[in-house]
């Protein structure tokens, strides 16, 4: 099964999750996702998702100048973002356990 | 370092930007701010002399990258594939409308700016009637973008090229210049409003008929501020913002020109070598006489009995002759002609007109250009009695000095007082 297909549904949740602990700029978020094992995540998809979550009011952003290279725009999870993460997290857990149960029977 | 050699990133980002050209500029800039540090890092990983091909190997084409940004970011898909549009024949009938909207706007802005400049620098509100000439064309372009939107215009090859050029220049400086200019935008709308109202009021000072201008300027000022608040989301408003801005640029430059001219004239002479401020010379480069702000063609002198003095030579307080261009009638052409310059006054009056075959000057049948000189004094002066002797006035003493060069200012001023 194509992981990239699965990712489409949960990328929002994954991005919110990696921003739960620490703020991060776009490339940070991408690296954290990859480091967590989501190797297939597309660069542009992450940046697009960040913008969409930001426009939905779930993230705030601030700019940090960098002494070498272009300045960096950090994203951080705000209160609505945390609520959404908790909510979607629950949905995912129940969905995943349903799927696990389904597959456990089949296996 | 990536900032010293940003070529590959620049090219890549410029292509992404072009592929996202239909999205609001501010949003595209936000997206690219996220992407830029990543690309810069990738480029430095590729090492010295990184090519855009290297980035394409890693990330795919900028166009597919843009498409992925679109779908994941929830942006609307592009209506028509940009590659097809760019490849389409330039002169196809679908281009005429957008061309008209784009070049019409450019043409109108140029014209409006020029007339605004001319009006402000000459302080003649009537010159603004020239602006009215452009309004039908401008209205046509506005009608076009209102009914068809700005997308056809944004997809014109010349507009795409221009945008690409600006983007490259922008990425050269890591977007700082454009970002800085963008941050000045709100101030610009306010400046425009002030300039428009100020211009209207200023014109009213000199010309009462400019009262009709002031409401128009007030309306334009309100309009530009309103446009300024909405232009980020509504690109069609560019067709109002750009012409009004062009008008403001015209009046500001015209006004500055006028102001420097006025200052050069009223202030003390900053150039010790030149005795006359610039701007008061005739077509032969000779200085002209002025009294207050109006120029003088001729000077008549009268003695204390009111008898005209046929010949006087005028000097200023430093003994410099007040020489102006001397003209005579030119028989063959019937016009006036320069014969030299001197400071002898009064000059004969030169009347230019027409004659008929009988030699009647300015008759009904006149057709031949003609010119005649009239040495007579065209008026008589009544010198007030008692004005000629003013023993208490100390200014009378210089006139009594037997200097060969007269001091006309003191003696001439006496009788008229």
| Tens-place pLDDT, residues A13-40 | 999 999 998 999 888 899 999 999 888 8
Are the Cβ atoms of A48 and B175 closer than 8 angstroms? Answer: no
What percentage of chain A exceeds 70 in pLDDT? Answer: 96
Opening angle at CA B95, ends B91 and B96, nearest 5:
95
A39 — phi, psi (to 5°)? Answer: -65, -30
Q: Say which of A26, A45, A63 has its CB closest to residue B68.
A: A45
Give all strands (DSSP E) within A1-107, no chain letters.
24-25, 59-64, 72-77
Whole-number Å distance between alpha carbons of A19 and A31: 12
| Interchain pair A42, B33: CB under 8 A | no
Contact status of A53 with chain B (Cβ, < 8 Å): no
For residues B156, B161, B162, B164, the Cα torsion angle rounded to the nearest 10 degrees is 120
Bridge partners of residue B327, in order along the sequence: B338
B191: tokens are 């400046």
* Contact by Cβ (8 Å): A43, B12: no
Q: CB–CB of B34 and A50 under 8 A?
A: yes
Contact B1 A68 (CB under 8 A): yes
Averaged pLDDT in 10-residue chunks for chain B of 417 residues: 61 90 88 87 79 84 90 79 45 70 89 88 81 87 84 80 77 69 83 88 79 86 88 82 90 86 63 48 74 80 86 87 84 77 86 75 74 81 67 48 47 44
Using a CB-CB cut-off of 8 Å, the residues of chain B touching A71 are 33, 174
Q: Is the peptide bond before B33 cis (omega within 30 degrees of 0)?
A: no
Res B391: pLDDT: 52
Cβ contact, residue pair A51, B71, below 8 Å? no
pLDDT of residue B392: 52
CA distances to B80, B97, B157, B187, B189 from B145, rounded to whole Å, are 18, 9, 17, 26, 22
Cβ–Cβ below 8 Å for A42 and B68: yes
A-chain CB neighbours of B56 within 8 Å are none
Q: Is B72 within 8 Å of A47 when comparing Cβ atoms?
A: yes
Cβ-Cβ contacts under 8 Å, B71 against chain A: 45, 48
| Cα–Cα distance for residue pair B109/B98, rounded to 1 Å | 16
Among candidate residues B190, B214, B212, the one with its CA nearest the CA of residue B201: B214
Q: List, as own/partner pairs, every contact residues B61-67 make where C-beta atoms lie below 8 angstroms and the sequence separation is at least 24, other chains included.
A: B61/B15, B62/B12, B62/B13, B62/B15, B62/B16, B62/B19, B63/B15, B63/B16, B63/B19, B65/A43, B65/A44, B65/B16, B66/A44, B66/B15, B66/B16, B66/B19, B66/B20, B67/B19
Contacts of B69 in chain A (CB under 8 A): 44-45, 47-48, 51
Q: How far off is chain A from B3, nearest CA to CA, in Å? A: 6
């Amino acid at each position: 099964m194509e992981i990239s297909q699965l990712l489409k549904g949960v990328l929002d949740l994954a991005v919110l999750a990696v921003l739960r602990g620490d703020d991060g700029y776009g490339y940070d978020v991408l690296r954290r996702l990859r480091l967590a094992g989501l190797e297939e995540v597309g660069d542009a998809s992450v940046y697009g998702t960040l913008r969409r979550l930001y426009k939905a009011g779930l993230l705030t952003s601030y700019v940090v100048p960098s002494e070498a290279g272009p300045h960096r725009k950090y994203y951080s999870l705000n209160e609505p973002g945390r609520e959404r993460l908790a909510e979607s997290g629950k949905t995912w857990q129940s969905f995943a356990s349903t799927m696990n149960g389904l597959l456990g029977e089949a296996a | 370092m990536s900032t010293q050699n940003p070529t590959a990133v620049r090219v890549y980002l410029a292509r992404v930007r072009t592929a996202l050209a239909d999205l609001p500029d501010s949003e595209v800039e936000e997206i690219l701010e996220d992407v830029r540090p990543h690309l810069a890092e990738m480029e430095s990983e590729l090492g010295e002399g990184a090519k855009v091909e290297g980035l394409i190997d890693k990330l795919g084409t900028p166009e597919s990258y843009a498409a992925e940004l679109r779908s994941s970011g929830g942006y609307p898909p592009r209506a028509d594939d940009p590659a097809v549009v760019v490849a389409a024949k330039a002169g196809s009938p679908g281009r005429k409308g957008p061309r008209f909207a784009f070049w019409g706007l450019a043409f109108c802005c140029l014209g409006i700016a020029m007339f605004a400049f001319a009006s402000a620098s000459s302080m003649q509100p009537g010159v603004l009637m020239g602006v009215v000439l452009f309004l039908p064309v401008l209205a046509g372009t506005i009608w076009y973008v209102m009914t068809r939107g700005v997308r056809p215009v944004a997809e014109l090859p010349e507009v795409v090229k221009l945008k690409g050029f600006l983007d490259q220049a922008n990425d050269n400086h890591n977007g700082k210049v454009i970002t800085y200019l963008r941050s000045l935008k709100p101030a610009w709308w306010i400046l425009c409003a002030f300039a428009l109202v100020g211009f209207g009021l200023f014109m009213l000072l000199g010309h009462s008929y400019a009262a009709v201008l002031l409401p128009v300027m007030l309306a334009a000022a309100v309009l530009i501020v309103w446009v300024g608040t909405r232009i980020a989301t509504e690109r069609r408003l560019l067709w109002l913002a750009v012409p009004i801005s062009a008008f403001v640029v015209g009046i500001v430059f015209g006004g500055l020109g006028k102001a420097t001219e006025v200052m050069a004239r009223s202030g003390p002479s900053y150039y010790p070598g030149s005795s006359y401020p610039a701007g008061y010379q005739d077509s032969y480069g000779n200085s002209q006489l002025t009294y207050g702000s109006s120029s003088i063609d001729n000077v008549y002198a009268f003695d204390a009995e009111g008898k005209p003095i046929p010949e006087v030579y005028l000097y200023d307080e430093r003994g410099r002759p007040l020489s102006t261009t001397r003209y005579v009638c030119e028989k063959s052409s019937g016009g006036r002609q320069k014969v030299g310059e001197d400071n002898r006054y009064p000059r004969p009056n030169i009347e230019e007109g027409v004659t008929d075959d009988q030699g009647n000057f300015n008759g009904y049948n006149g057709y031949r250009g003609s010119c005649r000189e009239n040495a007579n004094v065209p008026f008589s002066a009544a010198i007030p009695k008692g004005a000629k002797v003013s023993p208490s006035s100390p200014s009378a003493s210089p006139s009594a000095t037997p200097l060969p060069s007269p001091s006309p200012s003191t003696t001439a001023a006496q009788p008229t007082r």
